[in-house]
Amino acid sequence: MLSILEKRTLIFLFLIYNIGMHIGPYSEIWDENIPETEQPDPTLKGLDLRSNTSILRTMLDSQTKAIQSIEAALPALSSAADAIVTKLSDPSSRLIHGGAGSSGLLAMQDAMELNPTFDWPLERQVFLMAGGDKARLTPIGPEEDNIRTVDDAVKDNNICNKDVVIIVAASGTTPFSVRLLKAANKVGALTISIANNPDTELLNLADHGICLKSGPEIIAGSTRLAAGTAQKAALGMLSSLIMTRLGHVIDGFMVNMVANNQKLYERASRIVASISQCSLEKATNALDETKGAIKPAILVCLGLNQADAKIMLEKTGGDLRHAMEGLV
């Protein structure tokens, strides 16, 4: 039970809260020119007065809606993937990720997984973060507005018309990200943008603009929440689809994974055995023969020797599915 003093305190805080909320209505303070990801949600008035479970449930609902926002973006994601795969089919092309703040970190996080998951060459990856390498570990807010470093970064990294540049910004208006997009467009790179507000400069100027309309945040403006969830999922979906189309995924298995520890080596053995439909022992022996490379190990299990397996994969550009079809 609450004491009389505690009850009076709660009533006083409630009155002050409501008086404060009615000084300058939302419609005057948060007008239609404010991006949706910055807007407060009027239904969350008094959120901090709710129980823990109620706040968590509200957050979960917001996260669920964020994921659902990707549904409308599926055609754009599919179209972007086709264009990226075409560009990356050139072995001299690169996949470049850029951005600022939490959006940039999410883009970088997804990109960093491409090497261990799909053995995407490190030399074909570039990360361009507002604030540089320091921003990976330390928040550097002012750098989001710093466009002076962008042109030098594009020049220093020799970004050109062979490259794919993916830029993520929840607002769609971050100065660093917009400038990077313009610079990439200028050199003829294929540009992909992901933003959470519609009809923004970042979306309108990209070759492929992907809008994830995740709506207002539970904590107004904190785009690491709903917007970040939508971005994380969309980035993972896009990169996985790209790598699937490049021949690095078969039947839901990562057939170009880097098996460089015990857990991954055991996983690789199970993958080889599952696809080639052989025993686990045979799969492991084949992996030992190919020094942990999954694709040639599968072809070895299907009857080729290691040398012929390598030649077959070279002929198909590393596409295991096509190599397997050539054995039929």
**pLDDT single digits (tens) 125-135:** 999 998 877 76
Tell me what pLDDT residue 84 has: 98
- Helix boundaries (H) for the chain: 4-21, 26-29, 52-68, 74-88, 101-112, 114-118, 150-156, 175-186, 201-205, 226-245, 262-276, 280-289, 294-301, 306-315, 320-325
Where helices occur in 140-253 by DSSP H, the ranges are 150-156, 175-186, 201-205, 226-245
- Please name which of 208, 190, 164 lies closest in space to residue 74, comparing C-alpha atoms: 208
Q: Which of 36, 113, 266, 289 is catalytic?
A: 113
Q: Among positive and negative, which fits the CA dihedral 21, 25, 27, 28?
A: negative
Indicate the average pLDDT of the chain.
90
Say what the pLDDT of residue 71 is.
98
DSSP string, 247-276: T-EETTEETT----SHHHHHHHHHHHHHHH
Q: What one-character DSSP code corresponds to residue 43?
A: G
Greater confidence, 36 or 20?
Answer: 36
CA 181/CA 147 separation, integer angstroms: 11
In a 3-state reduction of DSSP, which class is residue 73? Answer: helix
Q: What three-state secondary structure class fits 221?
A: coil
d(CA 324, CA 302): 8
36 is catalytic: no
Question: What average pLDDT does the segment 88-95 reach?
Answer: 95
Tens of pLDDT, residue by residue over 302-328, are 999 999 999 999 998 888 999 998 886
To the query of whether residue 123 is one of the catalytic residues in this protein, the response is no
Q: Indicate which residue of 28, 36, 123, 144 is catalytic.
A: 144
pLDDT digits (tens, 9 = 90+) for 282-309: 999 999 999 999 999 999 999 999 999 9
Cα distances from 234 to residues 82, 283, 291, in angstroms, run 15, 34, 34
pLDDT-derived band at 32, boundaries 50, 70, 90: confident
- What is the pTM for the complete model shown? 0.88
Domains of the chain listed by start with CATH number: 71-245 (3.40.50.10490), 249-325 (1.10.8.1080)
Containing 96, the helix (H) or strand (E) segment is: strand 95-99
